[in-house]
Structure 1
């Protein structure tokens, strides 16, 4: 037990299945090494709890650009960095930024036009693969 925070919640240091961690009520946070179990202070633990909880491998990234509201959906148009490169979205419709187009050169009108074209085309229709034919063994 390290101590208690300002609300009186007890903070403990424990070593678990996935390594050492701090526990305060139902909130737990990982700490660096097993050595820290014996050396961490209450002030350091409170500092860890003052930061927002990190989930997953990637933290939220701010948008690359913002273009105001979309005239069709009324939602804010933003350019975000995605797995396959930058894309334009209004929260409903997504369209990849065309190759050769620089994100800094995009205008509000171009973004609205690209989103309108995407809405007109509709969702991508994927073709279903035919199941593989099974070979039947010849009878002897």
Structure 2
């Protein structure tokens, strides 16, 4: 029996294999293995009649997401399931950020392991770091998973509802996004400020003064900053 270790990328998997004993099998998930439906063809038959199905988020019931395995990921999911049949432990070694935590959670949900599951995290790909991570595994961080899920749902709600409005009101092929639209708005405001700016010519007035003409070393420099209490520079 072997211990199945899953990371995101094949490059990372290839490197980590060199740091682990032969009874460890390191494979890559190739990123996310589940997501909201990207097209109508990915919607499961049981949900095709739902008015919210194309959105992929049940807006009628607590905004529950509808997750599917994209066609491009079915092969890798099958391969991982087959490998898991001969493993006595599953180690989810995806990144420690919210995306990585989400990938690990989705792998757990899709693979439905019947063997012990560990969550392994590391911050550098060295032999020492990998060995250290194996000694300090943990469980999946549900808070990070929910954070990623919330971000994904909001992205879908904003993009899928506002983008079609842009096509009708402004121009085809435009897109809206949770971050993108706000960033564009800030750029527009800054550009308006730039265009409204009226350039002018300003001068600084300085004088070299001396109360004692007979003593040159008593000279000092003064700058005009206000006239009648009104600041000029």
Q: Which TM-score tier does this pair reach, normalised by the shorter chain? A: under 0.3
Looking at secondary structure, tell me which structure has more helix per residue. Answer: 2
Higher relative contact order (CA 8 A, sep 6+): 2
Judging by fraction of residues, say which structure has more strand: 1
| TM-score (structure 2 length as normaliser) | 0.18
Q: Rg: which structure is higher?
A: 2
Normalised by the length of structure 1, the TM-score is 0.26
